[in-house]
Amino acid sequence: MSRAVWAAAIAGALFGAGLALAGMTDPRRVLGFLDVTGDFDPTLAWVLASALLVSAVGQRWALRRAQPLCAPRFQLPAPRGIDRRLLLGAALFGIGWGWAGYCPGPAIAGLAVASREALWFVPAMLAGFWLHDRVVR
């Protein structure tokens, strides 16, 4: 396996372990965060803030390098404006997240702990990915 594949596998495993450790593989925790008028659970806010801090520091450190460790060059997205497609995608993501209590990362990590919810969510998510590819083409 290439160095890039190993780096991706290690990063994914670390990400999944962090999600599991923070309790984010439990959709009730996510739904508790979204329930601001009821039984509010602020755990997700701490997870998001920690991720933002680590990401900001890591990106500043990484972009100081001449090139990435596992690629010939950096591939950064070009800035784009906010359009209808972005807003629709964000709304669908948010609706799915609020309905199921999962987004892709925690859902996949949930498979590792045999979460019943993840066992139905991940196939539905994959079907959504497949449908998106068919509609966009």
**Per residue in 81-118, pLDDT tens?**
999 988 998 998 888 888 888 888 888 888 888 888 88
- Angle between the N-to-C axes of helices 104-112 and 27-34, in degrees from 0 to 180, rounded to the nearest 10: 150
The stretch 34-43 carries a mean pLDDT of 90
Q: For the whole model, what pTM was predicted?
A: 0.71
- How many domains is the chain partitioned into structurally? 1
| Per-residue pLDDT at 130 exceeds 90 | yes
What does the alpha-carbon distance between residue 59 and residue 24 come to, in Å, rounded to a whole number? 23
Cβ atoms within 10 Å, residue 108: 19
- Please spell the DSSP secondary structure of 7-47, one letter per residue: HHHHHHHHHHHHHHHTTTT-HHHHHHHH-TTSS--THHHHH
Structural domain span for residue 45: 3-136
Which tens digit of pLDDT belongs to each residue from 56-71?
999 999 999 999 888 8
Average pLDDT, the chain: 88
